Amino acid sequence: MTELSFIHRFVPATKPGRPPLLLLHGTGGNEDDLLPLGKIIAPGSALLSPRGKILENGMPRFFRRLAEGVFDEADVRMRANQLADFIGEARAAYELDAPVAVGFSNGANIAAAMLMLRPEVLAGAALLRAMVPLSEPPKADLTGKLVLMISGQLDPIIPTDNAEQLAAQLTAAGALVNHKVLPTGHGLSQQDLSLTQSWLTNV
């Protein structure tokens, strides 16, 4: 595995012409967690899967939080920029196009932060169980960028209005946001996979 600034896994593409996926795990996950999901939703695409650098009670995350749903926003900004720099390294090392982020929970939140802070590094994003990562995001130009958000109506961690606020922030920046709310909790369902797979065919 090429030495880059994040521990990661890379799976080369077997079908040309598909955008690579940047797979971003949730709290307690690692670089192997979402590889099976990536292969299901985008067969043949290159997969790039980094491990978050923050440890919370021994569990990897992409940025610090102060409490459940309360983020250390200075850390969010720093870590989003670090991850964006890693994407640049990986694109050069593996000769990749700009990836589409597929993030779950904490991974979705760091992807949303990158869209606002470093919009040029992502071709689009599927945000599964995301919430607002920055209370006062910078003015980003996301004109025409495709974003899928899938929220759980029964999610005990993310209030519905918080997810709607994130969708509104991204839309205001020009992103083409498709926000689905499923009758489910925080965990992923089969419907999440099929919706994401279908959305990816148009990215």
Known catalytic residues are 105, 155, 186
Burial of 135 (0-12, 13-18, 19+ CB in 10 A): exposed
